[in-house]
């Protein structure tokens, strides 16, 4: 038989010690071993996740650094090209800070359309109908509008349904 050593102790001695314990101690040892294994797996997960984020953001930083250095060399060589060749540098469509003060001197006036207020038109239901028969709370404008337009309204406080029949019963 092959001797297996765990932490310098023979495997057979560990098994004999485990079997010599009472049943509740064996259950507690198994729960403890399981808990330690789960915690070890969780710890390894978060360490690998942290290393992954570290590598990702380092590579992202290096990318932006190299991109900036490349843009620097591009602008430098572009400026040298136009300086040596004597050609004028073409202007882009975007505004530069030098063009902004010129626009501030001569502001453009936009013609605005007049603002027309929206008029709220709704027929008021009888004043007696403006209170809920279930909870006694006052109907809101939205509830009155809904009762007038669709013939059905729900009280926002108790949820009871009010219809045109309710309005007719109040009137009589």
| Contacts for 11 with CB less than 8 Å, ≥ 6 apart | 3, 4, 5
Q: What is the pLDDT of residue 3?
A: 73
DSSP 12-61: HHHHHHHHHS-HHHHHHHHHHHHHHHHHHHHHHHHHHHHHHHHHHHHHHH
- Give pLDDT < 50 ranges for the chain: 128, 171-172
Q: What is the pLDDT of residue 6?
A: 76
Q: Is 77 helix (H, G, I), strand (E, B) or coil?
A: helix
Q: What is the pLDDT of residue 89?
A: 84
Q: What is the pLDDT of residue 116?
A: 76
Tell me how long the chain is: 172
Q: How far apart are CA 25 and CA 34, in angstroms?
A: 14
Q: What is the pLDDT of residue 138?
A: 78
Q: What is the pLDDT of residue 22?
A: 94
Q: How far apart are CA 117 and CA 10, in angstroms?
A: 91
Q: What is the pLDDT of residue 95?
A: 56
By the 8 A CB rule, do 143 and 153 touch?
A: yes
Q: What is the pLDDT of residue 39?
A: 98
CA distances from 113 to 108, 110, 116, 119, 120 (A): 16, 10, 9, 18, 21
Q: What is the pLDDT of residue 5?
A: 76
| Contacts for 144 with CB less than 8 Å, ≥ 6 apart | 122, 124, 125, 130, 153
């Amino acid at each position: 038989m092959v001797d297996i050593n765990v932490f310098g102790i023979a495997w057979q001695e560990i098994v004999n010690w485990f079997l010599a314990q009472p049943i509740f101690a064996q259950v507690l040892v198994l729960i403890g071993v399981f808990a330690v294994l789960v915690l070890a797996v969780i710890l390894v997960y978060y360490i690998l996740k942290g290393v992954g984020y570290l590598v990702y953001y380092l590579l992202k930083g290096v990318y932006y650094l190299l991109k900036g250095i490349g843009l620097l060399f591009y602008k430098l060589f572009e400026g040298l090209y136009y300086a040596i060749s004597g050609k004028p540098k073409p202007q882009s469509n975007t505004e530069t800070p030098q063009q902004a003060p010129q626009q501030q001197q001569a502001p453009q006036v936009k013609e605005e359309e007049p603002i027309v207020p929206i008029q709220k038109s709704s027929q008021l239901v009888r004043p007696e109908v403006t209170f809920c028969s279930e909870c006694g709370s006052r109907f809101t404008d939205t509830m009155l509008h809904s009762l007038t337009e669709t013939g059905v309204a729900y009280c926002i406080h108790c949820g009871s349904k009010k219809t045109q029949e309710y309005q007719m019963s109040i009137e009589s």
